[in-house]
Amino acid sequence: MKQEQLQKYAELLAKVGLNIQEGQIVFIEAALDQPDFVTMVVEECYKAGAAEVYVDWSHQPVSKLSSQYQSLESLSTLKPWGRAKWQYKADNFACRLWLESEDPDGMKGADQEKMSKARQAIYPEIKPFRTALENKHQWCIAAVPGKAWAKKVFPDLSEEDAVEAMWKAILHTSRADGDDPIGAWKAHNDDLDARCAYLNGLGLKYLEYKSANGTDLTVELLEDGIFAGGNEKTLQGGVFNPNIPTEEVFTSPKAGAVEGIVYSTKPLSYMGELIENFSMRFEGGKVVEVKAEKGEELLKKMVSMDEGAARLGECALIPYDSPINESGILFYNTLFDENASCHFAVGFGFNECLKGFESLTDEECKQRGINDSMIHVDFMIGSRDMSIVGVTKSGERVQIFKDGNWAF
């Protein structure tokens, strides 16, 4: 891949993804797959005005060994240095960038029961720091090619060619393969803003999903809910793009107000393993039954992590003819596959999907219907024939999606 294009991508992540301002502190989380590109990003962060940039390196095989050999007690404990790092991030509202590159099968064979219990145990220790950062810092999730991930996506290519093909796919779907990626993202954000404005003007109370694969689901929306998409804004006014790529317009539904069944249309990579061809049936707003051709036990563990893990936290609207879906590539990575077509997420919802959330406490947002959970897991449900009808508070029915794409 041409260095010039990678430099533009690095600049995009620093200036549009994070939108770093003078004097801010930046933390980057990355694996050992693309150190040269990470170095580019660090330089672009400093050029954008960052005062400090730190990289937390990881290596999936080491993480797997830790899960195997460390005791449950050790894995469940937030160590003093980990607590200090979280505190530093919270005190400074640090910008955070994740560069994903892990092998979708990299944690296969790990003790998922042990890992789930560890996550459940450590979550209460981390949550106060996450709450302190929520809507107060810029963050972004993007991707770089890892060798194992690239070979998973392009199994018929050599390792070198697979990585090159992966770079091309990432840059294209991230709107970063042209002469002016920053300009392309301005136009894309403007389009998403216009769609949000239309939806927010309808006064919707329900969304009804139907597809020939068996999906038949009714989702109640929040009384004061809003649709969002593209760039977001911190409480201090900082604008950033949390996902590169993104194609979605999303909202958080009313917790505990979903009825029906939904079928996945792409595999879900969760905790380093794949869950394939699955369904979830909701009654009284909660998942009461899951089925999967592969990974059913892991799916059951996922929706039982805590009480909110069995409720919807997000409804995302994405046209079936999105650039990611049109690429014909199955990325085995939620950041990309969730933006191929419509998706849901079980787990926590987003306070910013409530009007006036700025003046509400976290607890008040929960009382108004924002779901709370330690997890937020997106899964894909969009199909070529999907229909989504919105029902307004006055009972009017409005076609939102027809044949898998926007109806307006």
Check whether residue 140 and residue 10 sit in a common domain: yes
Residue 190 inside a domain? The answer is no
C-alpha distance from residue 123 to each of 65, 83, 127, 213, 306 (Å): 21, 12, 6, 36, 11
pTM of the model: 0.86
Structure confidence at residue 1 (pLDDT): 86
d(CA 137, CA 132): 9
Query: 118-156: per-residue pLDDT in tens?
Result: 999 999 999 999 999 988 999 999 999 999 999 999 999
pLDDT tens for residues 223-280? 999 999 999 999 999 999 999 999 999 999 999 999 999 999 999 989 878 899 999 9
CATH code assigned at 127: 3.40.1830.10
pLDDT at site 248: 96
235: in domain: no
Same domain, 24 and 149: yes
Whose tokens are 């939108």? That residue is 19
In this prediction, residue 269 carries a pLDDT of 87
**Can you say how many angstroms the Cα of residue 356 is from the centroid of all Cα atoms in its chain?**
23
In a domain, 239, yes or no: no
Confidence (pLDDT) at 59: 97
3-state secondary structure of 335: helix
Same domain, residue pair 149 and 214: no
- Do 67 and 34 touch, CB atoms closer than 8 A? no
- Residues 162, 219 within the same domain: no
CA–CA gap between residue 240 and residue 50 (Å, rounded): 15
Q: Are 102 and 147 in contact (CB under 8 A)?
A: no
CB 120 within 8 A of CB 307: no
Q: Are residues 155 and 250 in the same domain?
A: no
**Whole-angstrom distance, CA of residue 155 vs CA of residue 153:** 6
Amino acid at 81: W
pLDDT of residue 284: 96
The residues facing 397 across adjacent strands are 391
Answer yes or no: do 121 and 255 share one domain: no
What is the structure's pLDDT at 295?
95
Per the CB < 8 A criterion, the answer to whether 20 and 47 are in contact is no
Residue 164 shares a structural domain with residue 287: no
pLDDT of residue 272: 78
What total of structural domains would you count in the chain? 2
Position 273 scores a pLDDT of: 86
Residues 109 and 213 in one domain: no
pLDDT at position 207: 98
Distance CA 110, CA 94 (A): 32
Which pLDDT score is estimated for 162? Answer: 98
- Is position 234 within any domain? no
State the number of CA atoms in the 13 A half-sphere of 80 facing the CB: 0
Kindly state whether residues 381 and 250 are assigned to the same domain.
Answer: yes
Same domain, 10 and 72: yes
Q: Are 125 and 213 members of one domain?
A: no
Q: Which segments in the chain show pLDDT lower than 70?
A: none
- CA 252-257-260 angle, to 5 degrees, is 105
162 domain-assigned: yes
For 34, the 3-state DSSP assignment is coil
The domain containing residue 334 runs over which residues?
203-228+246-406
- Boundary of a domain, candidates 173, 188, 213: 173
- Phi and psi at 401, nearest 5°, equal -125, 140
Same domain, 223 and 361: yes
> Of 173, 194, 213, at which residue does a domain stop?
173
